[in-house]
Amino acid sequence: MSGVDSVSNVSVPLMGFAGQVLSALGDAVIAVDTRNDRRALARIDPARTVEVAKKMFEMDGSRFATATGIDVRDGIDILYHWVFDKVGAVITLKALAAAPEMKIDSIANVVPAANWIEREIHDLLGANFVNHPDMRRLILDDSWPEGVYPLRKDFDQIKDRPPLPPQPPDTGEALP
Amino acid sequence: MALKNWALRKSLWVYHVNTGACNNCDIEVVELLTPRYDIERFGMILVGSPRHADVLAVTGSCTRQSQPRLQEIYRQTAKPCVVLAIGSCAGAQGIFAESYHMGAGVDNAIRAIDPNAIILYVPGCPPKPEAMISAAVKAMELLKEVKI
């Protein structure tokens, strides 16, 4: 795991703008790694993602940039990147969707911008977003089998490829 | 029959298919129409439907999602038709060949429909407009042999 977990310094007073933001989240923050005043990574309680997202969303000048998924040993890490454009700060909040179920609460009902990226993470990595409003397939093709996640570490890009999509049906139409 | 063949060679109409290209090849295809290269002097124009086309200008590496669509477009194109596989991706899937979401490749996908398809490869990333003009001229030479 990354350095975020090894630096568990919530008791240390948080400095700068990033510190103010993370302090506002209260005890939902499990571990903090502050790089400088305007760049911070924090691990949050996976059971409280919706509450944290709501707090971040309602903060002055905040914007949900995107989310990232990483296949790690204990499950899938979801990284929510929040940007404060006026300050120039980027706050990344990590939450672990723990194996084997890889379930995590969807923040798409609170933050509409997270809708598509959560669908994409579900497609490619297989994290299960609970209470997502519209969990349809987003970017893999229609013939891709369910339950095959191409960006997992154990997926071989060549050996594990599913069979190719079928040819379109021949209509027997006479052509000019 | 010779008249039909002559008319075909004098007015090759092109339909442009993007099967997942990065748009660089597409920009070069559009460049062909500009006064500098002026592909219309050969009687070639871009048309909006494969039903009107004699040439399919295919760019992109043929992803899984676009493969059945490419096959359907080839099926709808009036025969005889020439496929120009433009760029490294269309020729041999380029740097994406070992990626998880690739189809069979432009040439294999079309040969699965029609084993005798005429496919010309224009390598390059992107190919120069001169290379595409050269391919178009070769296509005209090839069509001399085709019986309509």
The domain spanning residue A50 has which CATH number? 3.30.460.80
With respect to residue A170, please indicate whether it lies within any of the assigned structural domains: no
With respect to residue A68, please indicate whether it lies within any of the assigned structural domains: yes
> Would the CB atoms of A167 and B98 count as touching at under 8 Å?
no
Structure tokens at A61: 């000048």
With respect to residue A96, please indicate whether it lies within any of the assigned structural domains: yes
> Would the CB atoms of A144 and B99 count as touching at under 8 Å?
no
Q: What is the pTM of this model?
A: 0.83
* Chain A nearest C-alpha distance from B51 (Å): 9
In chain A, the percentage of residues whose pLDDT exceeds 70 is 89
Which domain covers residue A32, as residue numbers?
3-100
pLDDT digits (tens, 9 = 90+) for B125-147: 999 999 999 998 898 888 888 77
Q: At what angle do helices B2-10 and B129-145 cross, to 10 degrees?
A: 170
* Chain A nearest C-alpha distance from B133 (Å): 27
Structure tokens at A99: 């194996």
Closest in A161, A165, A170 to B100, CB measured: A161
Structure tokens at B94: 């380029």
pLDDT class of A12 with cuts at 50, 70, 90: low
With respect to residue A119, please indicate whether it lies within any of the assigned structural domains: no
- What is the C-alpha separation between A88 and A21, in angstroms, rounded? 13
Closest in B69, B99, B104 to A164, CB measured: B104
Is the Cβ–Cβ distance between B64 and B104 less than 8 Å?
A: no
User: Would you give the distance in Å from CA B72 to the centre of its chain?
Assistant: 14
* Chain A nearest C-alpha distance from B75 (Å): 9
Nearest to B58 by CA among B101, B103, B100: B103
Nearest to B109 by CA among B56, B69, B51, B57: B69
| Burial of A60 per CB tally in 10 Å (0-12, 13-18, 19+) | exposed
Q: What 8-state DSSP symbol labels residue A170? A: P
- What is the C-alpha separation between A165 and A159, in angstroms, rounded? 16
> Would the CB atoms of B101 and A165 count as touching at under 8 Å?
no
Is the Cβ–Cβ distance between A114 and A67 less than 8 Å?
A: yes
With respect to residue A79, please indicate whether it lies within any of the assigned structural domains: yes
Q: What 8-state DSSP symbol labels residue A149? A: -
Closest in A140, A157, A168 to B68, CB measured: A168
- What is the C-alpha separation between B17 and B137, in angstroms, rounded? 20
With respect to residue A166, please indicate whether it lies within any of the assigned structural domains: no
pLDDT digits (tens, 9 = 90+) for A123-163: 999 999 999 999 999 999 888 998 899 999 999 988 888 88
Domains identified in chain B and CATH numbers: 13-143 (3.40.50.12280)
pLDDT of the residue at B2? 82
The number of folded domains in chain A is 1
